[in-house]
Structure 1
Amino acid sequence: MTDWLSPEEWQAVLLSLKVALWATVWSLPLGIFTAYALARWRFPGRQLLNGLVHLPLVLPPVVTGYLLLIVFGRRGVIGSALADIGIVFAFRWTGAVLACAIMAFPLLVRAIRLSIEAVDPKLEQAAGTLGASKPWVFITVTLPLILPGVLAGAVLAFAKAMGEFGATITFVSNIPRQTQTLPSAIYAFLQVPGGEASAMRLVIIAVVIAMGAVVLSEYFSRRIARRVSGQ
């Protein structure tokens, strides 16, 4: 593949993999916690939290990117304070991680939430009656049972992060070798004469990754269904 892709194309693929991996890793703990809260807890503002989690799915990605720029930009509400201690997101690859994590978060939470709801609460209650604390019940009972759902959500989140464009280009721009991810590179190649071949090669890679993610997600979903049915 190194001979098939030019150095610029290869750099975009590597950066996309890096961004997608870190976006998935950093959002996974919060995604599991949020999914568990929505699936098991009843509290004021639960529907509001559910709406906020799924908001990136219905908002135009450019709007999400603009909001990130307002909040986490160098002069943003939070970004200015972070910049004072040397943490900068806007126009950095770390900002691409943040944008991709936010855009992929709804898919991650939904997959994990469905797997948690498929677990019989009586199993957790039985472990609690034996003296296990709630965190220990989750680690030893719930988490092993929902692991296929966690993996399915992580795969979908990774694929979504790989394909994220609108929020990313708005928040971190399209800087070669710094913030130019795979979708941004495809867009850039299509803007210059003779760039169609490079764009097509990156499109093929994007399609392969997306199809692989769908296949893996379906596999883990079937694992959940078989576990629920007791097969």
Structure 2
Amino acid sequence: MSERRERTRQHGPEPAAGRVPLALVPAAVLAVAFLVLPLFGLLQRAPWTDLGPVLRAPAVSDALRLSLFTALASTALCVVLGLPLAWVLARAPFPGRRVVRALVTLPMVLPPVVGGAALLFALGRRSPVGGWLDDAFGLTLPFSTTGVVIAQTFVALPFLVITVEGGLRAGDRGLEEAAASLGAGRWTVLRRVTVPQVAPSLLAGAVLAWARALGEFGATITFAGSLQGRTQTMPLAVYQALQRDQGAAIVLSLVLVVVSLGVLVALRDRWAPAG
């Protein structure tokens, strides 16, 4: 108690728990304004009288349908590939693990256009892998809907991996060891203990991957092009509309904002602490 009184005498009373220092408030308000202001710009310039005709246009409905389908497909692929990869990175020490982790997270900092070009050179019809897929299975990835899913998965997978890896590292391994000591096999421990523990992180990673896939532009247009009804997702449709019809571009942007915000708000309590 004497030490606490001495600290109080020298430095003043300690701040109450949960109380935000007033010096941080202006910067926080400025940050929120910086993020929200562009949305108000869209709302202000939106051609509300033309909203119906623009949304009923075939190009818009095709782009929205394709975006939702490819984002869901790429998210599912991220889960299938990312969960085992995150487990290996978090739980299996091996030589070069830091290098592998750096390579896994590289698409997060790599310019999307560069990622699309890399995919084109690696999986194009003239590449060894792409040529083999085309000859053996008749599967052409560039400029196809499958190519869109591949491009979105390439840029979205790291978001799921690092989120799930963090959840695995923070999990209680004592529960897994207790289950194993009671006779549970590795797959049973994984299915009954590890996966339920990491489920919030998995859902958070899936939501982040879905949002990243939905907004993907650079890798998609480079690897898959912009073909209406086939590879033209909503971001690509916005880009093309900006060149000929600014009002349509604003409407398409608002649709993307509403869809993304709706999903994130609906799932927030499942992947982030309530506050």
Q: Normalising by structure 2, report the TM-score.
A: 0.76
Structure 1 residue identity aligned to 2:84? F
Cα distance in 2 between the residues matched to 1:46 and 1:169: 32
Structural RMSD (CA): 1.8
**114 and 19 in structure 1: CA distance in 2 versus 1, 3 angstrom threshold:** same
The alignment of Structure 1 onto Structure 2 pairs a total of residues equal to 222
Cα distance in 2 between the residues matched to 1:161 and 1:208: 16
Cα pair 1:71 1:78 within 8 Å, conserved:
yes
2:102 to 40, 44, 51: 51
1:181 aligns with 2:233: yes
Matches within 5 A, 1:206-217: 206-215=256-265
Runs of 4+ in 1 over 4 A off after TM superposition: none
Cα distance in 1 between the residues matched to 2:225 and 2:99: 31
Cα distance in 2 between the residues matched to 1:218 and 1:173: 33
Deviation for aligned residue 1:2:
7.6
Residue in structure 2 matched with residue 69 of structure 1 by the alignment: 120
Q: Percent identity?
A: 42
Residue in structure 2 matched with residue 13 of structure 1 by the alignment: 64
* Unpaired stretches in structure 1, ≥5 consecutive residues: 226-231
Cα distance in 1 between the residues matched to 2:119 and 2:266: 31
> Which has the higher mean CA deviation after the structures are superposed, 91-100 or 44-53?
44-53
Cα pair 1:111 1:153 within 8 Å, conserved:
yes
* Unpaired stretches in structure 2, ≥5 consecutive residues: 1-50
Cα pair 1:70 1:77 within 8 Å, conserved:
no
1:196 aligns with 2:240: no
**106 and 91 in structure 1: CA distance in 2 versus 1, 3 angstrom threshold:** same
Cα pair 1:156 1:213 within 8 Å, conserved:
no
Residue in structure 2 matched with residue 125 of structure 1 by the alignment: 177
Deviation for aligned residue 1:217:
6.0
Cα pair 2:74 2:153 within 8 Å, conserved:
yes
1:134 aligns with 2:134: no
Residue in structure 2 matched with residue 100 of structure 1 by the alignment: 152
Cα distance in 2 between the residues matched to 1:109 and 1:2: 40
Cα distance in 1 between the residues matched to 2:140 and 2:52: 32
